[in-house]
Amino acid sequence: MRPTATFIDLIRSIDSGNATTKLETLAALLSAEPPPRSRAAATLRHVEALGFRLEGGARFGDAAHAYELAASIDPRDPQRWRMIAATARLRDFVEHECWDEAAAFIAEIRSRGETEAALRESARTLLQVGWDHECRGRAEPAVQCYRLAFALNGGDAGLSTGDGHSLSAKIRNLRILQMNAFAEAGHYEEAAALHESTRAIAGFGPIGIYEIVSARQAADAGHGRYRELLAGRTIAEPEVKFLGGSIALTSRAGSLDAPPQYVALFKDCLTFPRSNVVLHGERLIYDLAVHPLSGLADIKDGVNPGQIMLAVWGPGRALVEAPAEIHEIDAGLMLFGFQSRQYGHWLLEFAPRMLWFNDPACPAGLPLCIDDQMPNSHRQIIALMDERDRPVQVLPPVATRFRELGLAPVPTFYPFDTRPGLPTYDAIWPSDVLAAMRGKILERLAAQGGDLRRTGRRILLSRRGFTQRRLVNEAEIADALQPHGFEVIQPEHYTFAEQVEIYHAADIVVGSASSALINGLFCRPGAKVIALTHDNPAFYFRGFTSLIESSGARLLFVRGHAVQTEGLHPMHADYAASPAAILQALAAF
């Protein structure tokens, strides 16, 4: 049976301009004249349609009122309508950005004993609203919607965002983006407050704000001891040579101001294995982050996956997450840090520190502290360079407090990457430091019976075992070089000492400009190195030239053409090189 004409006329008269008042009238009518069973279903359909129409006009509060009226006249399933009304009410709070009121209302909803299925369905609505905000670049409303969905659902279970993330992971990622923006603008307290508001959901610990200083600045301020062992100096710009003549490089040339080399000691430091961050009181000691060129650097400590804490970087200050667990050590020397497990980074950034840890200025007895899961080659380098029989202590991925910590620097300003939109930074390596490291390794290797007398080898370095920067026509090149006396070598199959012997015995080395070619540092003076690269003019041409020619070897680049590989950093693209060009390079030498 149809509802009364009075009811129908009232329903039809409700619009966005009068909904609030008219709904009160409708409520009074339904209270005074409840629909009999014969009219209940039809009346309910009209009220449901009204609620749907009001939602379509973004009148969510009024829609919630309409659904509450539906609950009052449905004898069979009023609970369903109450949940639909609650969802609309939440949409109204979200629409007006009344986040605290929404959170309090969610607590009330969950106290009613609603089913998990009903709560999850309502949470999905909030999740979709959050996703819409995120797609429009509105980070804070998106975070708040995700936070409310998380609270309503009681956690992550059964929900994921439009790009497949859990709610807690999405909140974490968006918060980091927001905090980065605040820190970049120098608004550190605002970034910290933002972090605090959702850290429990995102799984963060408390955060502190630290002044970034260099080791020398910290020591000069009376907070530690600093001994300079090699003064800052100007180094020569390398002469980069290409088969066929020079090209226009699009990278930024690295600084020719080589930094001082030192040993510094600080009491009571908090460190984070796999990271370069050293906290000392209210200071964060990090030479790279206060270097005059630090504005170029895209600092990844506390940012990349695998880091054991969160860090957000701004000009002169940083926010660092406090650890939930701290491992304590009496004393040690810092040979751990960001990318320490990667061979190229280890040999160039970390191994040279052994020169200064060997110096009498560095106290005896302090252990060398390294990251876990280090390849054997790294330990072999330590054993060759260590002159003071220091113990090696492996640090688990847990924040570690040192009662005394010894530091030594990277030989040059060497950011892991440059900020988006800036040219690649092509670091230039000081030949004096690398030559000293090379000399020490060769000296110790010879003393241990290593064969450094052999000469005349010709080697082609294989990258068959790698997934990035692959030489896709390697087999064709090997076939072309075989008649010229070349043997194919996979360096990763040899111990470090064996690798040094191979490179030292080589008259000619041909290989991809990659971590394996860095061992060209151990070639004999006058050896010829042909470095194969893709055709990106922003590659690290100066860096490779400076480090390889510090041995006295000569380097010539042969450029191939990149094979675009989706998802790879442009510096790591696979490529092909012309065998004819390589043979031409041999003749040119």
Least trusted range by pLDDT, from 19-28, 131-140, 517-526: 19-28
- Same domain? For 105 and 188 the reply is yes
Q: How confident is the model at residue 388 (pLDDT cuts 50, 70, 90)?
A: very high
% of the chain surpassing 70 pLDDT: 98
pLDDT tens digits, one per residue of 49-107: 888 999 989 999 988 898 898 888 888 888 999 999 999 999 999 999 999 999 999 99
Strand-by-strand arrangement of the 457-461 sheet: 487-489, 457-461, 506-512, 528-533, 554-559
Helix and strand counts by DSSP (H, E) for the chain: 20, 22
Identify any residues that bridge with 339 across adjacent strands, giving them in sequence order: none
Tokens representing 247 are 């090209």
- Same domain? For 197 and 230 the reply is no
Residue 486 has pLDDT above 90, yes or no: yes
Residue 305: which region, alpha, beta or left (left: phi > 0; alpha: psi -120 to 50)? Answer: beta
pLDDT tens digits, one per residue of 312-330: 999 999 999 999 899 999 9
Residues 6 or more apart whose CB falls under 8 angstroms from that of 181 comprise none
- Same domain? For 146 and 32 the reply is yes
pLDDT for 570 equals 63
Q: What is the 3-state secondary structure (H, E, C) of 350-362?
A: HCCHHHHHCCCCC
> Is residue 512 situated within a structural domain?
yes
Dist. CA 170–CA 177, nearest whole Å: 11
Q: How confident is the model at residue 1 (pLDDT cuts 50, 70, 90)?
A: low
Angle at 120 between CA 119 and CA 122, to 5 degrees: 65
- Same domain? For 391 and 299 the reply is yes
Angle at 493 between CA 492 and CA 498, to 5 degrees: 90
> Is residue 415 situated within a structural domain?
no
Distances (CA, A) of 486 to 96, 282, 456, 479, 580: 73, 57, 10, 9, 15
- CATH assignment at residue 554: 3.40.50
278-280/506-512 β-pairing = unpaired
- CATH assignment at residue 167: 1.25.40
pLDDT for 567 equals 61
Least trusted range by pLDDT, from 55-59, 353-357, 507-511: 55-59
> Is residue 461 situated within a structural domain?
yes
pLDDT for 569 equals 67
Residue 13 has pLDDT above 80, yes or no: yes
Range of the domain at 538: 450-588
Residue 523: which region, alpha, beta or left (left: phi > 0; alpha: psi -120 to 50)? Answer: beta
Say if residues 465 and 490 touch (Cβ distance below 8 Å).
yes
Look at the alpha carbons of 288, 290, 296, 302 in this order and tell me if their dihedral is positive or negative.
Answer: positive
> Is residue 248 situated within a structural domain?
no
Residue 528 has pLDDT above 80, yes or no: yes
Residue 322: which region, alpha, beta or left (left: phi > 0; alpha: psi -120 to 50)? Answer: beta
Q: What percent of the chain is helix, strand and coil (3-state, nearest 5)?
A: 45, 20, 35
- Same domain? For 476 and 496 the reply is yes
**Which of the listed ranges 195-199, 258-262, 462-466, 513-517 does the model predict with the highest average pLDDT?**
258-262
Of 202, 217, 242, the domain-final residue? 202
pLDDT for 36 equals 84
- Same domain? For 100 and 227 the reply is no
Residues 6 or more apart whose CB falls under 8 angstroms from that of 422 comprise 252, 296
More confident residue, 471 or 358: 358
Dist. CA 333–CA 357, nearest whole Å: 8
Share the mean pLDDT of the chain.
Answer: 93
Three-class secondary structure of residue 533 per DSSP: strand
pLDDT for 566 equals 63
- Same domain? For 220 and 159 the reply is no
Return the closest-CA partner of residue 73 out of 46, 52, 91, 55.
Answer: 46
- Same domain? For 49 and 179 the reply is yes
> Is residue 113 situated within a structural domain?
yes
Cα dihedral angle (575, 581, 582, 587), rounded to 10 degrees?
-160
Mean pLDDT of 115-120: 92
> Is residue 240 situated within a structural domain?
no
> Is residue 331 situated within a structural domain?
yes
- Same domain? For 183 and 222 the reply is no
- Same domain? For 267 and 294 the reply is yes
Dist. CA 301–CA 170, nearest whole Å: 20
Residue 435 has pLDDT above 90, yes or no: yes
Residue 443 has pLDDT above 60, yes or no: yes
Say if residues 346 and 340 touch (Cβ distance below 8 Å).
yes
Say if residues 343 and 496 touch (Cβ distance below 8 Å).
no
Residue 565 has pLDDT above 90, yes or no: no
Dist. CA 536–CA 538, nearest whole Å: 5
- Same domain? For 341 and 400 the reply is yes
pLDDT for 41 equals 85
Of 354, 389, 407, the domain-final residue? 407
pLDDT for 100 equals 95
- Same domain? For 300 and 371 the reply is yes
Domain count, the chain: 3
Residue 27 has pLDDT above 90, yes or no: no
The helix or strand, by DSSP H or E, that contains position 313, with its residue range, turns out to be strand 311-313
> Is residue 198 situated within a structural domain?
yes
